[in-house]
Chains A and B, each alone.
Chain A
């Protein structure tokens, strides 16, 4: 049974179309990832699903409740972990959780039990009465996850859950999310622009310029890139390209002085390539395809390119400031 249903969802901010007629559904118990560069429409989609924004057209529903028409039922069914911390740093861990429990109308006694339970799960029991001010980034994120789960939501939304965290903390958070889904059968909807993170999902939707351009399991998506990726540097790349094409019927493309080609069984291909090629090879490397290669193949850009050069940051800022103004 699908727990999240989205049909032809569109969101327009004045002149900017943040999401453009997307449709997808997420099964109960699934970990579903939204992968895309900054400004692709990930956060906008989450904001509509969690009833913070209303759609321009189309529908979004969670657990049979419409996000626009029945926001309170949707809100009871979801837990949220935002990109930026939403804890009150002037309160203690316990006070933050207690506040949440009261907002979600949990019985006082039940709240106390759950708070202890969740603090134990995220290993913060010892810091129960410490001010958030003194917490590290990873501890804050863990506490936020504990808070998001306090009312036992059916769907947990994670918006860039590990943004700004060091790799070690990122792994801890992921171990934790994986344990959680085994125990609770909770549905997880997450957005990310980290490829490695997206690999943890059951299914991924790749989103770019407000449209879903591919949606499948990470494994199947990676199969869209044919086989392994081989990068070679030769003495004369320009002469090598037509020669490889002639000898092996494989098309190579040049990227920053390196030839990139896709082939099945790359480990067997390399010796043959070096042996047959008349031009001297200076270096070779082989790599199993990643989701980044999938994104590159679908859009012609890498996700990181966008972060550095594109005007996507501007778009994102625009969306943010617009949203602020609306509140």
Chain B
């Protein structure tokens, strides 16, 4: 059973809090800028441009992916906060279905991540990437898909996490490896076999590859897209549905 008004108000709450916390907004911009201009520029001196794209341009799709990754995981982990500080109870005893809570949280996490991805696009002019209007909308479409996928994953984790102590473990053993093994920093084809296999089971890999299709349109591997776009989109969609189903199921348990 899906109820519209509760879902709306759950989203509204997340947005109010997102725009109220100035530090979180600032962090949204600071991290990508740091990666792009410090790491990106540093590495550019080692790696030569190929097929018309520089390393700085190569990592930009990865930076968007990274922003979505952090934002989505952070949004969904807020469920654990809600539980620790009691607010979850207010939702659990209300006459709304658990499914509505899960959808509300997924939707708000997705929308906030997409909003952050759009904010990151202001960096485009500094990178020498041409962004047409259709491309802009294509980026948003891919962002929606990837954000939805990662948020669902985060909610599945949050449903299982019983206390906030687990958060550091998630950051160190899931989020960081997901970032480094995603083709965001280095091409998948250039990786040693063991790492490449790990990269291939990471849904973020295909999300970032889809961003490369849109932003580095004429690029070829290693610095351009490495998988067919259809494969990227089908895989992310399938993983999203799977994650969300599991998340909704693990939320339904009541003793």
B93 within 8 A of A: yes
- CB-based nearest B residue for A80: B93
Note all chain B residues with C-beta closer than 8 A to A90.
17, 20-21
Contact (Cβ within 8 A) A87 B95: no
Given contacts A54-B255, A88-B87, A104-B95, contact A99 B162 (CB under 8 A): no
Contact (Cβ within 8 A) B85 A105: no
Contact (Cβ within 8 A) B93 A76: no
A76–B86 Cα gap in the complex (Å)?
20
Contact (Cβ within 8 A) A104 B254: no
Given contacts A86-B87, A88-B13, A91-B16, contact A53 B254 (CB under 8 A): yes
Contact bitstring B68-103, A, C-beta under 8 A = 1, else 0: 000000000000000101111111111110000000
Which one, B3-11, B38-46, B145-153, is touching chain A?
B3-11
Note all chain B residues with C-beta closer than 8 A to A71.
95
A89 within 8 A of B: yes
B163 within 8 A of A: yes
A52–B85 Cα gap in the complex (Å)?
17
Q: Contact partner of B95 among A72, A80, A91, A99, CB < 8 A? A: A72
Contact (Cβ within 8 A) A104 B16: no
Contact bitstring A59-90, B, C-beta under 8 A = 1, else 0: 00000000000011101101010101111111
- CB-based nearest B residue for A98: B9
Contact (Cβ within 8 A) B162 A105: no
A51 within 8 A of B: yes
How many A residues face the partner with a CB closer than 8 A?
A: 36
Note all chain A residues with C-beta closer than 8 A to B13.
88, 91, 95, 99
A97–B226 Cα gap in the complex (Å)?
50
B48 within 8 A of A: no
A326 within 8 A of B: yes
A103 within 8 A of B: yes
- CB-based nearest A residue for B95: A75
B22 within 8 A of A: no
Contact (Cβ within 8 A) A86 B17: no
Note all chain B residues with C-beta closer than 8 A to A85.
85-86
A183 within 8 A of B: no
Contact (Cβ within 8 A) A53 B163: no
Note all chain B residues with C-beta closer than 8 A to A75.
93-95
A6 within 8 A of B: no
**Which of A51, A53, A84, A102 has most chain B Cβ within 10 Å?**
A102
* Minimal beta-carbon separation of A198 from chain B (angstroms): 24
A325 within 8 A of B: yes
A323–B89 Cα gap in the complex (Å)?
12
Contact (Cβ within 8 A) A103 B96: yes
A50–B83 Cα gap in the complex (Å)?
17
* Minimal beta-carbon separation of B98 from chain A (angstroms): 10
Note all chain A residues with C-beta closer than 8 A to B3.
105
- CB-based nearest A residue for B6: A103
Contact (Cβ within 8 A) A52 B89: yes
A43–B86 Cα gap in the complex (Å)?
15
Contact (Cβ within 8 A) B86 A82: yes
* Minimal beta-carbon separation of A101 from chain B (angstroms): 8
- CB-based nearest A residue for B8: A102
A85–B92 Cα gap in the complex (Å)?
14
Contact bitstring A158-193, B, C-beta under 8 A = 1, else 0: 000000000000000000000000000000000000
A76–B95 Cα gap in the complex (Å)?
6
- CB-based nearest A residue for B5: A102
Contact bitstring A19-36, B, C-beta under 8 A = 1, else 0: 000000000000000000
Given contacts A51-B93, A100-B90, contact A324 B9 (CB under 8 A): no
Contact (Cβ within 8 A) A82 B89: yes
Contact (Cβ within 8 A) B255 A326: yes
Contact (Cβ within 8 A) A103 B91: yes
Contact (Cβ within 8 A) A324 B93: no
Contact bitstring A30-56, B, C-beta under 8 A = 1, else 0: 000000000000000000001111100
List the 6 shortest-distance A-B pairs measured between CB atoms, nearest first: A102-B9, A103-B94, A86-B86, A75-B95, A326-B255, A72-B95
Interface residues, chain A, with chain B CB atoms under 8 Å away: 50-54, 71-73, 75-76, 78, 80, 82, 84-91, 95, 98-100, 102-105, 147, 321, 323-327
A104-B95, A323-B255 known, 8 other contacts, Cβ within 8 Å: A88-B13, A89-B85, A90-B20, A91-B17, A95-B16, A105-B5, A321-B162, A327-B92
9 residue pairs A–B, Cβ–Cβ below 8 Å: A75-B94, A78-B93, A87-B87, A88-B13, A88-B17, A90-B20, A99-B13, A103-B91, A324-B163
Interface residues, chain B, with chain A CB atoms under 8 Å away: 3, 5-6, 8-9, 13, 16-17, 20-21, 83, 85-96, 162-163, 253-255
